[in-house]
Amino acid sequence: MHMTARERVLLQALLANEQGLTLQELADVASVSVRTIQRDLPSLAKVAANHQLSLHRGHFLVLEGASTYKLALKEKLQTINAGDFTSDERVGLLLALLLDANEPVKLFALAKELNVTPATVGSDLTKAAEWLEQFGIKLIRKRGYGIAVKGTETNIRQAMSAILSENLTEEAFYEAVYAGQMQNEVASRLLHFVDLETIRLVQSTIQRVKEKHFDDMADQSFIALVVHATLAIERIKQGEQIRMDAGQLEALHKEDSLPVAQELAEALAQTFQITIPEAEIGYLVMHLRGARIGHIQGEPFEQSNAELAGRLKQFIAGMEQDLSVSLAEPSLFQGLLAHLKPALYRVRQGMKIHNPLLEKVKADYAALFAVTAKQASKAFAPLKLPEAEIGFLTLHFGAALERRKRSVSLSALVVCSSGIGSAKMLASRIRQEFPEISSITNASLFDLDKYDPANFDLFISTVKVETNNRQALRVSPMLTADEASLIKANIDELLNEQTITAAPTIRTNVEEKRSFADIKRMASFIDSFLQSVRLVAVDELLAGIRVYCDILEEEGALSEAKQVYDALLARERLGGIGIPGTGLALFHTRLNEIKRPVFVFLDLKTEAQVASMADGNERIKRAILMLAPEALAEQELAFMSFVSILLIGSDDETALFYQGREREITQFLEQKCREFMISYINEGVDQS
């Protein structure tokens, strides 16, 4: 069984003192607080039991058992070296000790805790000070005083949460909460911020609310929420009060997640018999708002989508330019949109983002990471995205590039003059390096007249050869790295040309990604949407919407025209509906009273002024009525979002929606719907 460094120190002290030690004496031995020793006792008892010993708890803590077992444990402890931590791990542990301390800590005590020299601790403290600066916390180091941190309760809480989130993986969390033991010593030590039983109670309380309201929250977001709530409860019990600016608190009270945060706070208050202040509820709102949820929540086209979608299009366009590829696929856009909405919120709120795959992404996808960082800095300026977030975005583009390779099937004619063995070896290397090349035809130089290189996507040869004005890519049978790069460049060029010029084709070997029933349902939904597209002239904006709602009720698209109209007005009062710089306004809602999708253009006789989705007002000439049933399948919701984003596409597309005729708009939407459906069948529209 794994033992932490502190457990080893405590066991050695108990073995050396047969009569036992008090909690305070053990705390002095380990240079920690009595509260920390109390938290250590359950795990210490388990280690003792694993060695046929027991920990007797009274005024003195005594290690009881046969002398032979005590001797065996003593010998084992002497053969175990104290855990060697990396510099980053030591910095994390130092931060944990200092943030949790109520008074200054001596340098020698920190050195003893980590089993390193004071000089090493001094070097680590410099790094710790830099890390604390991002939270507005100062590291105080004075001779004769010791080392301490200085900051507001809010900042200290954020730093504590960040330290835990960076080190508490899903696996470590599971070990702590469910298995009752920790194999990761760093995570084990950091968990001494909090009581394990408190974590378990918080986890079970949040789990009940989670199953009711946000069951598909990502694991890491769930753990972050549990950690935040646990720290909040621990600090509230200690009399520490968090503060929040009144204006920020008022803004958070307008968030859709407020009722869930209030329900969660009430559940936690009942579990722990405490009062949770309004500011704490505000921070719960922030965590829920910034959590990664498995699907796009809320309306298919929210107020914030206009700016975000525009920036996202700029981001993808920049990536396409730097990578010299086309990335025009709904799944990439939808996946990035779903990810970035909560991610950008977390960045703006200063919430720490943890990416356990960051170092691996930077190592395995160095070039793609650099391009992603460059284009993200342009698209989302002045907001600066941290490296952890750049890592997540890199994975999205990496997945898109892989899907792009898998979605085509290339053929290659390979000419090798060294014999069939060399030809097969080269063909094998090509298959390993380029899975998108699914068909390879081997030919000798003398049999080349039997083949037409023009019938193959790639023409590769180990000798210099040119036929029908097509020159072969010359490589060696071993296929060097430079030669592989040459082939890759040609494949990328081919893929780019195919994506831009060739009509999409449906793969016939779909690996049961969509059932026939799924495809039929999606096709029916899209057909219903296209059937609703109309361009209608109206005299006045609101009156025109009211009249057309009545028409839709008569046609059976709605059941309660007045209720739908009221919902549209309520949405207008909630936030701007004018799409910036387009002359268009989008009225949209989802209700049970809406029976099928509706997409109608209302041509105004005279211009109207509405609140913009950005700042100020927008003069509009057309209003778009976008309605959908409340109960939509995930892919149906994705489709509605896909359509709404078309409104802020290229200048030509926006001009079409602003002044195009009904037939032109319908033809354009039919083409886009075909593309969506092909993508849906081939790969799906990933919302994660």
- Residue 384 falls inside a structural domain: yes
Question: Within 13 A of 29's CA, how many CA atoms are on the CB side?
Answer: 20
- Residue 294 falls inside a structural domain: no
Q: Quick one: pLDDT band at residue 417, thresholds 50, 70, 90?
A: low
Q: Residues 576, 303: contact at Cβ < 8 Å?
A: yes
**Across 370-399, average pLDDT:** 88
**Which whole-number Å values give the CA distances from 266 to 45, 221, 259, 326, in the listed order?**
35, 20, 11, 50
Does residue 195 have a pLDDT over 90? no
First to last CA, the chain: 38
Q: Are residues 660 and 532 in the same domain?
A: yes
Q: Are residues 181 and 95 in the same domain?
A: no
Given this model, what pLDDT does residue 122 score?
87
Q: Is the alpha carbon torsion for 650, 654, 659, 662 positive or negative?
A: positive
CATH at residue 34: 1.10.10.10
Own/partner pairs for 14-20, CB < 8 Å, 24+ apart?
A: 14/55, 14/61, 14/62, 14/63, 15/63, 15/70, 15/73, 15/74, 15/77, 18/62, 19/60, 19/62, 20/56, 20/58, 20/60, 20/61, 20/62, 20/63
Q: Which residues of 312-322 are buried (b: 16+ CB within 10 A; e: fewer)?
A: bbebbebbbee
Q: Are residues 538 and 639 in the same domain?
A: yes
- Residue 54 falls inside a structural domain: yes
* DSSP assignments along 269-282, one per residue: HHHHT-PPPHHHHH
* DSSP assignments along 325-383, one per residue: -----HHHHHHHHHHHHHHHHHHHTT-----TTHHHHHHHTHHHHHHHHHHHHHHTTTS
Q: Residues 275, 269: contact at Cβ < 8 Å?
A: yes
**Which whole-number Å values give the CA distances from 663 to 533, 544, 586, 660, in the listed order?**
10, 21, 20, 8
d(CA 499, CA 401): 12
One-letter identity of residue 394:
T
In terms of pLDDT, which residue wins out, 538 or 401?
Answer: 538
In terms of pLDDT, which residue wins out, 163 or 20?
Answer: 20
Given this model, what pLDDT does residue 302 score?
42
Using alpha carbons, select from 4, 145, 13, 14 the residue that is nearest to residue 82: 4
Q: Quick one: pLDDT band at residue 604, thresholds 50, 70, 90?
A: very high
Q: Residues 522, 680: contact at Cβ < 8 Å?
A: yes
Given this model, what pLDDT does residue 303 score?
41
Which residues, at least 6 apart from 117, have a Cβ–Cβ distance to it below 8 Å? Answer: 111
d(CA 187, CA 173): 9
Tokens of 198: 């408190």
Average pLDDT across the chain, whole number: 78
One-letter identity of residue 375:
Q
Using alpha carbons, select from 583, 647, 602, 666 the residue that is nearest to residue 309: 647
Q: Residues 585, 602: contact at Cβ < 8 Å?
A: no
Given this model, what pLDDT does residue 668 score?
92
- Residue 363 falls inside a structural domain: yes
Q: Quick one: pLDDT band at residue 686, thresholds 50, 70, 90?
A: very low
Q: Quick one: pLDDT band at residue 31, thresholds 50, 70, 90?
A: low
- Residue 295 falls inside a structural domain: no
Phi, psi of 115 (to 5 degrees): 60, 45
**Across 381-397, average pLDDT:** 87
Q: Are residues 192 and 270 in the same domain?
A: yes
Does residue 33 have a pLDDT over 90? no
- Residue 346 falls inside a structural domain: yes
Q: Are residues 553 and 576 in the same domain?
A: yes
Does residue 371 have a pLDDT over 60? yes
Tokens of 657: 């929606």
Does residue 216 have a pLDDT over 70? no
CATH at residue 596: 3.40.930.10
Share of the chain above pLDDT 90, in %: 13
Q: Are residues 677 and 658 in the same domain?
A: yes
Using alpha carbons, select from 41, 51, 12, 44 the residue that is nearest to residue 29: 12
Q: Is the alpha carbon torsion for 373, 378, 379, 380 positive or negative?
A: positive
CB atoms within 10 A of CB 327: 18
How large is the greatest C-alpha to C-alpha distance in the chain, in angstroms? 98
Q: Are residues 541 and 626 in the same domain?
A: yes
In terms of pLDDT, which residue wins out, 398 or 351?
Answer: 398
d(CA 633, CA 619): 35
Given this model, what pLDDT does residue 329 score?
66
Number of domains observed in the structure of the chain? 6
Given this model, what pLDDT does residue 176 score?
62
Given this model, what pLDDT does residue 622 score?
92
* Out of 5-14, 460-469, 491-500, least confident range: 491-500
Q: Are residues 435 and 530 in the same domain?
A: no
- Residue 687 falls inside a structural domain: no
Which residues, at least 6 apart from 162, have a Cβ–Cβ distance to it below 8 Å? Answer: 135, 352, 354
Q: Are residues 535 and 657 in the same domain?
A: yes
Q: Which run of H or E residues covers position 139?
A: strand 138-142
Q: Strand, coil or helix: what is 589? A: strand
Q: Quick one: pLDDT band at residue 239, thresholds 50, 70, 90?
A: confident
Q: Of 102, 128, 151, which one is at a domain's C-terminal end?
A: 151
Q: Is the alpha carbon torsion for 428, 429, 430, 436 positive or negative?
A: positive
The angle subtended at Cα 584 by Cα 583 and Cα 585, nearest 5°, is 135
State pLDDT tens for residues 569-582: 877 776 678 887 78
* Residue-range definition of the domain harbouring residue 54: 5-79
CATH at residue 324: 1.10.1790.10
Q: Are residues 354 and 449 in the same domain?
A: no
Q: Are residues 143 and 252 in the same domain?
A: no
In terms of pLDDT, which residue wins out, 684 or 162?
Answer: 162
CATH at residue 446: 3.40.50.2300
In terms of pLDDT, which residue wins out, 233 or 214?
Answer: 233
Q: Are residues 146 and 162 in the same domain?
A: no
In terms of pLDDT, which residue wins out, 346 or 381?
Answer: 381
Q: Of 289, 320, 353, which one is at a domain's C-terminal end?
A: 289
Q: Strand, coil or helix: what is 63? A: strand
Given this model, what pLDDT does residue 511 score?
40
Q: Quick one: pLDDT band at residue 294, thresholds 50, 70, 90?
A: very low
For the chain, the C-alpha Rg in angstroms (whole number) is 32
Using alpha carbons, select from 68, 122, 60 the residue that is nearest to residue 94: 122
**How is residue 449 annotated by DSSP?**
G
In terms of pLDDT, which residue wins out, 419 or 198?
Answer: 198
Most confident among 71-85, 341-355, 414-428 (mean pLDDT): 341-355
Q: Quick one: pLDDT band at residue 667, thresholds 50, 70, 90?
A: very high
**Across 234-257, average pLDDT:** 72
Q: How many residues does the chain have?
A: 688
Q: Of 106, 123, 151, which one is at a domain's C-terminal end?
A: 151
Which residue stretches of 80-218 are H helix? 87-100, 107-114, 118-133, 153-167, 170-174, 185-190, 196-213
d(CA 655, CA 659): 6
Q: Quick one: pLDDT band at residue 304, thresholds 50, 70, 90?
A: very low
- Residue 688 falls inside a structural domain: no
* Out of 64-73, 142-151, 176-185, 507-516, least confident range: 507-516
**How is residue 686 annotated by DSSP?**
-
One-letter identity of residue 183:
Q
Does residue 322 have a pLDDT over 50? yes
Q: Residues 436, 494: contact at Cβ < 8 Å?
A: no
